[in-house]
Structures are given as C-alpha cells and as structure tokens.
Copies of this chain bind each other. A is one copy, B any other.
C-alpha cells in the first residue's frame, strides 16, 4: 500500500498537465509561426505519416484507429493543405498519403519548438532533473508504439 505523502491521484493529473502545457505552448507558437489551424491530433498524424508517406490503412495501424478514421483525418489534413493523396503506380489499390511542403514545414517547426520547450524545462529544473524525469517515465511507460486515438480513448 501507498499511504505515503501525496495522494495517488495527483500523479496522473500532473502528467497530463505537463503534457497539455507543452502541447498548448507548441500550438500557440505554431499559430504564431503561420500554422494556426493545426490541432494536436493533426500533429500526431503528420508525425505518423512521416516524410516517406503512408497509406491510410497503415496510418490507421500506427495511430491505433480504424482505416476509416485514419481516412477522415487524412481528409482533414488534405483540406487544410498539409497532406495530399497520390496514386501508387505499383499498386492500383493504394493511395499514398504524403505531406505537402506546408506539412513538412509545420513538422520542422514543431521539432524546433519542442526542443526549445524542453530547454525551458532544463532552465527551470536543471538538465539532470529533466533527464531523470524522462528516465523515470521511460521505465514506467515506454512511449513506443502507443495509440493516438486520444479523443475516442478518453471519451466514449
């Protein structure tokens, strides 16, 4: 049992608050830099698409959602000008989703902003403490291959 000092429910709250504060700051800065329409979900989807591009089905697998849901996200990204669908010449069924120049730009900027935000943590806490937090989290919750169906996961 853990009748230690803090209540156990604080830990998840803090983790979420940390996550949310970083993502909010990212998108505020992204908006300032010419990408006001990107939502968190779009950023994660674009990250999953990557430079080589993917099919909608594969995107669904990476994001942990159905291919139909992935298709809808691609629709949205296409409509916002961040991705495009091109026919695969080698496979008549496939349409490869690729990032547009604008999509790549947003991803590059996001990477820089993330580095900058982490630097602020280092400023406030020291590099060692931030590294310790990361190490602790890596131990308890590997961030590899997790699902990004945040909206659906939390709600319904």
Contacts and interface: CB of A to CB of B under 8 A. Distances in A.
B150 A154 contact: yes
Given A21-B141, A139-B124, A155-B39, A14 B116 contact: no
A16 B14 contact: no
Contact of A114 (B11, B113, B117): B11
Contacts of A23: 12
A130 B7 CA distance: 12
| Stoichiometry (number of copies) | 2
Q: Which one of A19, A47, A118 has the greatest number of beta carbons of chain B within 10 Å?
A: A19
A97 to B, nearest CB: 19
A137 interface: yes
B143 A17 contact: yes
A131 interface: yes
Interface of A: 1-23, 26, 39-41, 47, 110-111, 113-119, 121-122, 124-125, 127, 129-134, 136-143, 146, 150-156
